[in-house]
């Protein structure tokens, strides 16, 4: 096996992992440790068409990684081919404009970003620390959700609030889903080399959802902000709303600010409107069975997605490519059709048949031939980007230890 990389995505209560070989092209194994820090923690490892589940008695991030290492020790060909570990880290603040080899200084800088991502960065650091103790011989690389958006101009990233909040505390738009947007931009350049000289908008629609305008391979605007709560309506997030709603919700329900924000981030969006589910597939099934609130939730999602697409597109001079990606963007022809219907002001249409027949997991053009804006479905692959960044950074001569 050639050039395998262990990919770690360490969240507050879950740790997703994968081994990719052949410079990121081949998925060897993958899995998830769920419900960490509870007595119901368990780990699932998928390898060669089999799936094995095991309880994690000590439900810590370290315990999950010990299980992964023990599994790898039973597969020495995979273990011995590992060349590095790539970590998804949510927030790199303004310190990280690109992925970085992890050394003591990088760890301190990731720690310094904790106030911007108090739940996510500590979880990422737990994954890094556990990997240093278990795979200390392997170089490690951090790949940030935010770094792709560090190319935004200050006109885009500043909030119109007293500028001292930015100057003294770094309060600004950072944006997320950067690894996905970077993958899509790269893939589109392979398909259509001219796309680097024209405007591209990507709608990453999953449980979390955001849009990004890209020119010349660089992010020029994005819908998420200081946190992933800004922008589009999502599975459980409201997206952008009148900020005074935070005080109004706190007052009505006698909550503090943090708890009022939890209503907007965990109880709103598709779930809040449908009172049924945050899951698009479940809502489509309910809508098709006549549930009007499921339809209302989905229609609100689509209208707001269209508004966000137009909003980020204003930072471009042309819109030559619109790309749908993420679990919903890749799989829901209803959502794609509905969003594009809301974009008729831009003269964008879909080829209805191509939209419906779009094969699962494949890149597909879903707009009519000759239309000025090409509309695509491109499956994202954040793991591949993490593997490629890891390999690139550990190959650089100055980084060879
Ligand atoms: P996350 O942000 O958690 O990574 P994903 O990108 O995996 O989310 O997307 C999850 C969403 O994709 C869910 O709302 C799910 O219902 C939706 N989805 C997955 N497959 C389909 C499908 N066939 N039709 C409609 N929605 C789907």
In the beta sheet, which residues pair with residue 17?
8, 31
The 10 Å Cβ neighbour count of residue 274 is 24
- The answer to whether 352 and 234 are in contact (CB under 8 A) is no
Q: Is 34 a catalytic residue?
A: no
CA-closest candidate to residue 89, choices 19, 148, 22: 148
Mutate which of 202, 204, 207, 287 for ligand 1? The one with the most ligand atoms within 8 Å of its CB, which is: 207
Tokens of 357: 């027949």
- Taken as a whole, the chain contains a residue count of 401
pLDDT at 400: 53
**Strand 100-101 relative to strand 140-144, pairing:** antiparallel
| Average confidence (pLDDT) per 10 residues, the chain, 401 residues | 91 94 93 93 95 92 96 96 97 97 97 93 96 95 98 98 97 98 98 95 97 98 97 97 98 97 97 97 98 98 98 97 97 98 96 96 96 97 95 78 49
- The answer to whether 131 and 66 are in contact (CB under 8 A) is no
Ligand 1 in reach of 332 Cβ (< 6 A): yes
CA-closest candidate to residue 84, choices 396, 401, 394, 319: 394
Rounded distance between C-alpha atoms, residue 361 and residue 309, angstroms:
23
- Phi-psi domain of 120 (left: phi exceeds 0; alpha: psi -120 through 50; beta: other): alpha
What are the residues whose beta carbons fall under 8 Å from the beta carbon of 175, sequence distance 6 or more?
A: 146, 148, 149, 152, 210, 212, 219, 222, 223, 224, 225
What's the CA-to-centroid distance between 379 and ligand 1, angstroms? 12
CA-closest candidate to residue 318, choices 387, 216, 243, 400: 216
Going by CA atoms, what residue is nearest to atom 19 of ligand 1? 327
Going by CA atoms, what residue is nearest to atom 4 of ligand 1? 206
Going by the DSSP 8-state scheme, the letter that residue 289 receives in this structure is T
Q: Out of 34, 98, 103, 145, which one is annotated catalytic?
A: 145
Rounded distance between C-alpha atoms, residue 13 and residue 120, angstroms:
10
What's the CA-to-centroid distance between 101 and ligand 1, angstroms? 32
Sign of the torsion formed by the C-alpha atoms of 76, 78, 81 and 86: negative
Q: Tokens 């979390």 sit at which residue?
A: 208
Q: Which atom of ligand 1 is nearest to the CA of 204?
A: 6
Tokens of 263: 């209503």
- The answer to whether 49 and 30 are in contact (CB under 8 A) is no
pLDDT at 187: 98
Cα angle 22, 26, 30 (rounded to 5 degrees) comes to: 125
- The answer to whether 220 and 213 are in contact (CB under 8 A) is yes
Rounded distance between C-alpha atoms, residue 116 and residue 139, angstroms:
26
pLDDT at 307: 98
Q: Which atom of ligand 1 is nearest to the CA of 335?
A: 25
Going by the DSSP 8-state scheme, the letter that residue 91 receives in this structure is -
Strand ranges for 348-394 from DSSP E: 364-365, 374-377
Helix intervals (H) in 148-211: 154-157, 164-169, 178-191
């Amino acid at each position: 096996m050639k050039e395998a990389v262990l990919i770690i995505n360490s969240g507050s209560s879950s740790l997703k992992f994968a081994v990719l070989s052949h410079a990121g092209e081949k998925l060897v194994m993958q899995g998830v440790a769920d419900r960490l820090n509870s007595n119901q923690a368990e780990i699932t490892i998928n390898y060669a068409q089999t799936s094995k589940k095991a309880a994690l008695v000590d439900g810590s991030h370290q315990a999950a990684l010990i299980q992964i290492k023990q599994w790898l020790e039973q597969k020495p060909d995979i273990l011995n081919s590992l060349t590095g570990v790539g970590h998804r880290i949510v927030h790199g603040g303004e310190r990280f404009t690109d992925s970085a080899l992890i050394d003591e200084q990088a760890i301190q800088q990731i720690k310094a970003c904790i106030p911007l991502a108090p739940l996510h960065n500590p979880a990422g650091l737990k994954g890094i620390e556990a990997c240093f103790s278990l795979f200390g011989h392997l170089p490690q690389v951090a790949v940030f959700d935010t770094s792709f958006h560090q190319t935004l101009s200050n006109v885009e990233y500043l909030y119109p609030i007293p500028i001292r909040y930015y100057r003294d505390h770094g309060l600004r738009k950072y944006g997320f889903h950067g690894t996905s947007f970077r993958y899509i931009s790269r893939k589109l350049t392979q398909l259509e080399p001219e796309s680097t000289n024209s405007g591209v908008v990507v709608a990453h629609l999953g449980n979390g959802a955001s849009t990004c305008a890209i020119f010349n391979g660089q992010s020029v605007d994005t819908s998420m902000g200081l946190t992933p709560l800004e922008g589009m309506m999502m599975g459980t997030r409201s997206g952008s709303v009148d900020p005074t709603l935070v005080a109004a919700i706190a007052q009505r329900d006698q909550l503090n600010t943090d708890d009022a924000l939890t209503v907007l981030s965990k109880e709103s969006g598709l779930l809040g409107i449908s009172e049924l589910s945050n899951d698009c597939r479940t809502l489509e099934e309910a809508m098709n069975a006549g549930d009007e609130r499921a339809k209302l939730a989905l229609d609100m999602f689509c209208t707001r997605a269209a508004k966000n697409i137009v909003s980020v597109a204003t930072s471009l001079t042309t819109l030559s490519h619109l790309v749908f990606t993420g679990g919903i963007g890749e799989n829901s022809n209803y959502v794609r059709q509905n969003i594009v219907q809301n974009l008729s002001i831009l003269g964008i249409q879909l080829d209805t048949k191509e939209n419906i027949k779009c094969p699962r997991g494949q890149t597909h053009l879903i707009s009519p031939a000759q239309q000025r804006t090409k509309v695509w479905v491109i499956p994202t692959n954040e793991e591949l980007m993490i593997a490629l960044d890891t390999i690139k950074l550990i190959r650089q001569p100055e980084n060879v230890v």
